[in-house]
């Protein structure tokens, strides 16, 4: 494993990732959305090509984290639906809606 990936695997907090990858951030945004940012970062790096050299990998990871962070600067966790619980809640809400026109009284 490269030195870059070795160092990355030793990081644990969102702030450590942001500092290591030199992504500027607002601590309040991170405080409110840390898990969502890290999950979105994970999703973005999963889309990267597997043949990047270590210099390109560092730049790609930095861009992926910056993109993940920026998603939550302009939006929020409920809107972004990063975690399955938000996706399920949204689908349940749609599935449980019954329009008034669909309800009819049974004749007595």
Query: What does the domain layout of the chain look like in residue ranges?
Result: 3-82
Stated length of the chain = 108
Q: Are the beta carbons of 82 and 40 closer than 8 angstroms?
A: yes
Question: Across the chain, what does the average pLDDT equal?
Answer: 83
Cβ-in-10-Å burial (0-12, 13-18, 19+) of 60 comes to middle
Mean pLDDT over 21-28 rounds to 97
For 27-57, letters b (16+ CB in 10 Å) and e give eebbeebbebbbbbbeebbeeeeeeeeeeeb
**How much is the pLDDT for 22?**
97
| Residue the block writes with tokens 């309800």 | 103
Q: What is the dihedral of CA 56, 73, 30, 52, to 10 degrees?
A: -10
* pLDDT tens digits, one per residue of 50-92: 888 878 999 999 999 999 999 988 876 666 666 565 555 555 5
pTM of the model: 0.72
Question: Could you give the CA distance from residue 105 to residue 13 in angstroms, rounded to a whole number?
Answer: 57
């Amino acid at each position: 494993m490269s030195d870059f990936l070795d160092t990355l695997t030793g990081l644990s907090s969102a702030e450590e990732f942001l500092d290591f990858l030199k992504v500027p951030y607002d601590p309040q945004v991170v405080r409110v959305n840390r898990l969502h940012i890290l999950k979105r970062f994970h999703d973005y790096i999963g889309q990267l090509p597997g043949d990047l050299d270590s210099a390109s990998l560092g730049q790609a990871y930095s861009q992926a984290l910056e993109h993940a962070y920026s998603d939550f600067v302009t939006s929020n966790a409920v809107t972004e639906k990063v975690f399955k619980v938000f996706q399920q809640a949204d689908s349940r809400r749609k599935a449980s809606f019954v329009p008034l026109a669909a309800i009819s009284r049974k004749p007595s």
